[in-house]
Amino acid sequence: MEKNNRLLLVDDEERILESLRRLLKKEGYEIFTATSGREGLDILQRETVGVVVSDMMMPEMDGIEFLAQASTLRSDTVQILLTGHAKLEVALDAINRLGIFSFIVKPWNNYVLVNDLRRAFDTYNLVAENRHLFQLTEQKNHELKEANESLEERVKHRTQLLQEAIEESILMLARAAEAKDDDAEGHIHRVYSMVYDLCKELGVPDDKTGQIALFSMVHDIGKLKISDDILRKKDLSEAEAVIRKSHVTAGEEMLGVKPFYKIAREIARSHHENWDGTGYPDGLKETEIPLAARIVALADTVDALTHKEPYKNAWDMKRVLQEIKKLAGTRFDPRIVEAFVSLQQKRSGRKAQAKGSA
């Protein structure tokens, strides 16, 4: 069946629509635009649109109201909310009430926006194809058994692909948590990359490496439940420190109870545990701490040290290596520290080799 590539952009500012059109010109979408929610609904009544991207703040009808009405017209259309107001209550309301696929903050990152649109169309087309295959299965039940079994296998395969697409929506929550911290832009992606490399260096199996790296991005998801004042405050009272630390258990709770998210919950709860048992919330020590949490703990710390924050400047890698080695056996698993040091040595060797051949 033919894939849907029809995209509706809704924003009351023409310059935003033009900017999006330019960005998405090469993506091959059939693009419709509307400057109001009402105009967008009119388009949806006439056209079968696969994905709709709507601004949040619009006169007469805001993005939440528009997407709510759009759901009644085109229940299968995948929805993305675009806003310059990254407030927790807006994100959670949109996610929980409307089932919005993605939440993107203005000014958007081009790579993130383009990638989210691709995943959104993949999800729409997988759902459509899945429904079509189920219909074919029912129609062919009275025909040859072999043909019927083949269709069922295709349905099973497409269902698996759809499940994978749904799992990727966890990235949306990770970005919502990151949006609460003005100085954390790019942190989750850098941690993802470092965790992936560490897993490879440690010899973690490929399937588990992928899970640990993906779920590392939601290690601080519990910060969505902590007020901005406490998150950004330098000198905390004892009571405030307890509240800030509670983000680890809040994150575990937000990730539910389904088996698929077991590693994500372990990371969220235990990435502040220390190898010597002095961490929180459970005072776990050594291998009592889940491997995924131990890896994320080191990657999270390295990224914090190598990037500027309100109360400190970025450290160079030489100083970071000295600090991480010093904390081996107390804060960090010595084996993971060795893997990190090995990675840095390999990178330094590659740089020296490249410089020599230049």
In a domain, 194, yes or no: yes
Pair (161, 252) in one structural domain: no
pLDDT in tens, 40-79: 999 999 999 999 999 988 888 988 889 989 988 998 899 9
Most trustworthy range by pLDDT among 11-15, 58-62, 122-126, 308-312: 11-15
Which tens digit of pLDDT belongs to each residue from 287-337? 999 999 999 999 999 998 998 776 678 899 999 999 999 999 999 999 999
What is the DSSP code string of 101-164?
Answer: SEEEESSPPHHHHHHHHHHHHHHHHHHHHHHHHHHHHHHHTTS-HHHHHHHHHHHHHHHHHHHH
Q: Tell me, yes or no, whether 62 and 183 share the same domain.
A: no
Diameter of the chain measured on Cα atoms: 73
Mean pLDDT of 226-251: 87
Say if residue 163 is in the same domain as residue 223.
no
Residue finishing a domain among 150, 168, 186: 168
What CATH number has the domain bearing residue 52?
3.40.50.2300
| Residue range of the domain that includes 126 | 6-168
Q: Considering the domain boundaries, does residue 143 fall inside one?
A: yes
pLDDT digits (tens, 9 = 90+) for 334-348: 999 999 999 999 988
Asked if 159 and 232 sit in the same domain, the reply is no
Q: Greater confidence, 128 or 50?
A: 50
Task: Using pLDDT thresholds of 50, 70 and 90, give the confidence band for residue 144.
Answer: low
Residue 230 sits in a domain of what CATH number?
1.10.3210.10
- Please identify, among 108, 138, 168, the residue that sits at the C-terminal boundary of a domain: 168
Provide the domain count of the chain.
2
pLDDT mean over 186-208 = 92
Q: Are both 183 and 155 inside the same structural domain?
A: no
Examine the fold and report which residue of 168, 194, 209 is the final residue of a domain before the chain moves on. 168
Report the predicted TM-score, pTM, of the whole model to 2 decimal places: 0.58
| 1 within some domain | no
Per-residue pLDDT tens over the stretch 167-187 = 566 667 677 666 666 555 678
Which position has the higher pLDDT, 105 or 6?
6
Residues 208 and 241 in one domain: yes
